Amino acid sequence: MKKALEGTIVLDLGQIYNGPYCSLMLAFQGAKVIKIEPINGENLRVRRKGDCHELLMLNSNKLGVSLDLKSEEGKEIFLELVKRADVVVENFSLGAMERLGLGYDVLSTINPRIIYASGKGYGLEGPYANRPAMDLTIQAMGGVMATTGFADKPPVKAGPALCDFLGGIHLFGGIATALYQREKTGKGQLVEVSMHDTIYPTLASALGAYYSQGGKVSQRTGNQHSGMATAPYNVYPTEDGYIAILCVADRQWKSLLKVMEKEELLNDERFQTNIDRSANTYIVDEIVTNWTSNRKKLDIADMLIKANVPHAPVQSIAEVAEDPHLTYRGMIREIEHPKEGKIKVPGSPIRLSDSPLTEVFAAPMIGEHTDEVLQDLLGLTEGKLEELRDKNIIRSKEKMTQEK
C-alpha cells in the first residue's frame, strides 16, 4: 500500500515547533521530508545541552541535511533541490527568505510546480507583520491569555504551545489542499498561515458571549464555561486531585443528579434546561462540589463512566506521558535513537485507513543525510562533497563522527 504523500519531496526549513510540526505530518503521510539546517543546527538544537527532546519529538521520519544558505554555493545547491521538490516549508521571521534571495518569487520562477508554505507569527502582511512573534506573544495578542485563568487573578498563558501547533497544522492542511489543486491545474502556489489568525476562531465561546451580550461577561472564567453558557461545567476538587465534569444535555444533568443521589432536584425549576442551569451556575457548582470533595477522583470517574456523564480526571504530565490510551493508539511511541537510546515520540493524530503510519524512526542528527541526499537528488560526487565540506558549506555525518 502506497502512502498518501509518497513520491512527494519536501524541503523543510522549519525551526522550533511551527514548521517542524507541519513537516512531521507530511513525513508521517509518506512524503520524503528533507530537514535543511544551518551548519550548527536549527535554534531548537541548543535549548538544552545535546539534542533536546522537543527536537526529537517533532523531527521523526525526516532526512537531515546541513547546508549554509548564506553562502552562494549553498544557495545554488538549495535552488537545485527546489527544482526537484514539490513543497518548501519555512517559518523564519518575515523577510528572511527574501533577504537570502530565496523568496517565493524566485523559487516559483525556477519551479512553477513548487508549493511554498510560509508559517509566520502575524502572516506576510498587515500592520503587525513586522513584529517578532512567538507562541507566548501570540497568546498575549490573540486573546488566549485574556481568557485563561481566574477572573480575580492575572491573565495566564495556556500550557501547551497552542499557537505554534495550530499554525503548523493549518499550514499542513493548506499544503495538502494545494497538492490536490495542483493535480487539477499543474501549478504550485503560495500557502500562508499566520499563527495569530488561527487563534481567533478558537475563541468562539468568549467571542460569542462578547458579540451577543456586548462584553458584559467576564473574559476569564477559570474553569467555568468561557461564555458562562453551560452548567455544570467546571473542575471540581476531590480528596486526591481534581476532576472535570460537565453536562451539555439535560439528560446528562438528570443522570448526574441520580449518581449524586439528589433525585429531589430532578424537577427543580432552577435546573431544568441548560439556560436555567447557566443562570444558576454557582448553585449548580456548589451541589457538585459537595459531592466530589469527599470522594477520590478515580472513584468518581468510575461512577460517571457508568452514568454516561462527561468528565475526566485532571492528569499530570507524568500520567499523560504514560497514558495507556495514547500508548494503545500509537500516539506515544518508544523508538531507538542512536545516541539517546530509547526515546518516546509522538505518532500521527491524523489517521488515514489507506495511509497508515507503520514506522517511526528517530530525528536526524545535524547533517546525518547530507551526503545521501545530495548524491541521490543532485548527483554530487564524493570529491565535490568533500570540497563543500572543506569550505563549511555543508556538514556531513562523516565530519560529525571525526569531531567526536
Choice between 337 and 384, CB closer to a copy of itself: 337
Q: Which residue has the cell 500508548?
A: 327
User: Which residue, 89 or 374, is less far from a copy of itself as judged by CB?
Assistant: 89
Residue 63 forms beta bridges with which residues?
34
Please state the closest distance from residue 396 (CB atom) to a copy of itself, in A.
Answer: 26
What residues contact 156, with CB distance under 8 A and at least 6 apart? 145, 148, 149
73/78 Cα distance (integer angstroms): 9
Q: Which is nearer to a copy of itself, 77 or 166 (CB)?
A: 166
169 C-beta neighbours (distance < 10 Å), count:
18
Amino acid identity for residue 362 in this structure: A
Q: What minimum distance in Å lies between the beta carbon of 68 and a copy of itself?
A: 18
CB 87 within 8 A of CB 390: no
Q: Closest separation between CB of residue 193 and a copy of itself, Å?
A: 6
Distance CA 106, CA 115 (A): 12
C-alpha to C-alpha distance for 69 and 90, rounded to whole angstroms: 13
Q: Which one, of 82, 86, 90, 89, lies nearest residue 110 by Cα? A: 82
- Pseudo-torsion of CA 123, 127, 129, 131, nearest 10°? -140
Q: Pairing relation of β-strands 241-246 and 87-90?
A: unpaired
**Could you please report the per-residue DSSP string of 215-260?**
T-S-S--TTS-TTS-SSSEEEEEETTEEEEEE-SSHHHHHHHHHHT
The CA R_g of the chain, rounded to the nearest whole Å, is 25
What minimum distance in Å lies between the beta carbon of 358 and a copy of itself? 16
Instruction: Report, in Å, the least distance between residue 83 CB and a copy of itself.
Output: 20
Do residues 43 and 15 touch, judged by C-beta distance below 8 A? yes
**What is the pairing mode between strands 394-395 and 311-313?**
unpaired
Instruction: For residues 68 and 72, give the distance between their C-alpha atoms in angstroms, rounded to a whole number.
Output: 9
Give 53 or 384: the residue with its C-beta nearer to a copy of itself.
53
Rounded to a whole number of angstroms, the minimum distance from the CB of residue 170 to a copy of itself is: 5
Any idea which residues carry the catalytic annotation? Answer: 164
Residue placing its CB nearer to a copy of itself in the complex, 177 or 381:
177
